[in-house]
Amino acid sequence: MSDWVIIVGMAVVTYATRALPLLSRWKVSHPLAKRALCYAPPAVLAALVTPSLLAPGGAVEIGPKLWAGMLGAAVAWRTANLPLTVTIGLGLFGIMHWLGLG
């Protein structure tokens, strides 16, 4: 049930970002804040990725997840293709796991 509370909360804030500028005169006015908002998506993504590849258990861990992530980063850089990045990264992880490296 609490998952639904989260989903509805997400829906409300997301709709607000879409609708507020269309329905009201409210605006993010401070220029620095306005620009900072533009950088929120890369910041969020990087803040999620780095610990989950480098320190998945809460301590720094150099392992197959990091190698899979680095290969994934290279594919992402070249193609920005989501399914391809996921497939190749998972593939390397699977191979390393299968070889007993993970």
Partner 1 sequence: MHSVEMILFEQLAKDRHRQLEREAEADRLARAARAGARRHDGKVGADTSRGGKHYPREDAFREFWRGFVVTLPLWIGILPFGVAYAMAARGAGLSAAETIGMSLLVYAGTSQLVATELLASEAGALSIVLATLLINARLLPLAASLAGSLGRLPASTRGLLAFTLSDPSYAVSVERVARCVAGWAFLAGSGVSLYTGWQLGTLAGLAIGSAIADVTALGLELVFPLSFLSLLAPYVRSRSGALAALVAGGLALVARLVVPGTAYLVIGIVGGSLAGALVERRR
Binders of partner 1 among residues 7 to 26 (CB under 8 A) are 7-11, 13-23
Q: How far apart are CA 69 and CA 92, in angstroms?
A: 9
**Between residues 17 and 99, which has the closer beta carbon with respect to partner 1?**
17
Enumerate the H helices of 1-102 as residue ranges: 2-23, 31-38, 40-54, 64-79, 82-98
28 touches partner 1 (CB under 8 A): yes
Of 34, 35, 29, 92, the closest CA to residue 64 belongs to: 92
Rounded to the nearest whole angstrom, what is the least distance from the CB of residue 89 to partner 1 in the complex? 4
Q: For 71, left (φ over 0), alpha (ψ -120 to 50), or beta? A: alpha
| Near partner 1 in 80-99, by CB under 8 A | 80-86, 89-90, 93-94, 97
Q: How far apart are CA 83 and CA 77, in angstroms?
A: 13
59 touches partner 1 (CB under 8 A): yes
Judged by CB under 8 A, the number of residues near partner 1 is: 71
Rounded to the nearest whole angstrom, what is the least distance from the CB of residue 55 to partner 1 in the complex? 5
44 touches partner 1 (CB under 8 A): yes
